[in-house]
Amino acid sequence: MPGKILVLGATGTVGSKVIRTLVARGEPTKAACRKSISIPGADAVAFDYLDASTYGCALEGVDRIFVITPTGCLDPVRLLTPIIQAAAARGIKIVLMTMLGVDTGGSNSYRTVELFLEETCAPFVIVRPNWFADNFHSYWLDGIRRGVIAVPAADGKTSFIDTRDIAESIACTLTSDAFNGQAFDLTGPEALSYAEAAAILSRAIGRTIAYTPVDDGIFIGLLTEAGISATYAHLLAELFRPVREGRMAALSNGVETLTGKAPRSLETYAKDNIAALTA
């Protein structure tokens, strides 16, 4: 009898949708949370990356696990490698989400975690999504409310991806062995500048949203004023460098390969999230 699927980051943007997708498919799913919450259709289990005493209970009865770095974490190697090691030692299949582009260019902590995973004996799949379309109704929502998106992207294009497509892709890697041992870049279907994205969002919500390119200093100032730590604001600013350099405009067939469906456009994302974009 197959075991259960353990989803880390269960209350987060991606993890919550992975759980929803798995539950809808009738997959036995455990939702790992630091807080005690109830997630319909899944068994909630207490888990903290930083507390190894929570691993045994979380991994009990599990044969597949989804591993993600929480937003704001500055040291993914320290946070993720202990649970990857514990899962691998039990022969559990591990699906790891990192970020588009971490396997190109220089060394970085996400790539270090990927290599650590690849060197375990466990079956694994890696998924590397591009910037989430959903950031427009989370990180950039304050700007959208004011009618201006101000980020240091210059004219760089991004193939924004709807997190529903990320979650559905991850669910497919967890429920099939056909993709084991591989890594998949996940992108949306088209590369758009922030000006083009702002025009699409404007049409969807019926109100003009402008795009103002800013430099790193102004961007970091805006984020810290909004309560984001200076360290994380600097990291986010650094993530826009590959956008400006055109490296986030890449298109991949990862979503289609994994799910059999084309990824959703930014227009579809915007139409389906009008309430969140106008909240």
Ligand X SMILES: NC(=O)c1ccc[n+]([C@@H]2O[C@H](COP(=O)([O-])OP(=O)(O)OC[C@H]3O[C@@H](n4cnc5c(N)ncnc54)[C@H](OP(=O)(O)O)[C@@H]3O)[C@@H](O)[C@H]2O)c1
Residue 40 beta carbon to ligand X: minimum distance, rounded to whole angstroms: 16
Q: CA–CA separation, 102 vs 99, rounded Å?
A: 6
C-beta of 14 vs 209, nearer to ligand X: 14
C-beta of 32 vs 122, nearer to ligand X: 32
108: Cβ–Cβ under 8 A, 6 or more apart, which residues?
102
Given a contact cutoff of 8 angstroms between Cβ atoms, the answer to whether 275 and 140 are in contact is: no
Q: CA–CA separation, 184 vs 187, rounded Å?
A: 10
Q: CA–CA separation, 126 vs 170, rounded Å?
A: 9
161 DSSP assignment = B
- What are the residues binding ligand X (CB under 6 A)? 9-15, 33-35, 47-50, 68-71, 99, 129, 131-132, 135
Residue 14 beta carbon to ligand X: minimum distance, rounded to whole angstroms: 4
C-beta of 133 vs 204, nearer to ligand X: 133
Given a contact cutoff of 8 angstroms between Cβ atoms, the answer to whether 143 and 149 are in contact is: yes
Given a contact cutoff of 8 angstroms between Cβ atoms, the answer to whether 123 and 92 are in contact is: no
- Helix, strand, coil: what percent of the chain each, to 5? 45, 20, 40
Residue 174 beta carbon to ligand X: minimum distance, rounded to whole angstroms: 16
C-beta of 96 vs 209, nearer to ligand X: 96
Residue 8 beta carbon to ligand X: minimum distance, rounded to whole angstroms: 6
C-beta of 10 vs 220, nearer to ligand X: 10
Residue 139 beta carbon to ligand X: minimum distance, rounded to whole angstroms: 7
Residue 206 beta carbon to ligand X: minimum distance, rounded to whole angstroms: 25
C-beta of 102 vs 214, nearer to ligand X: 102
As given in the structure block, the two tokens for residue 95 are: 């699906």
* DSSP letters spanning 66-81: EEEPPTT-S-HHHHHH
As given in the structure block, the two tokens for residue 247 are: 């490296």
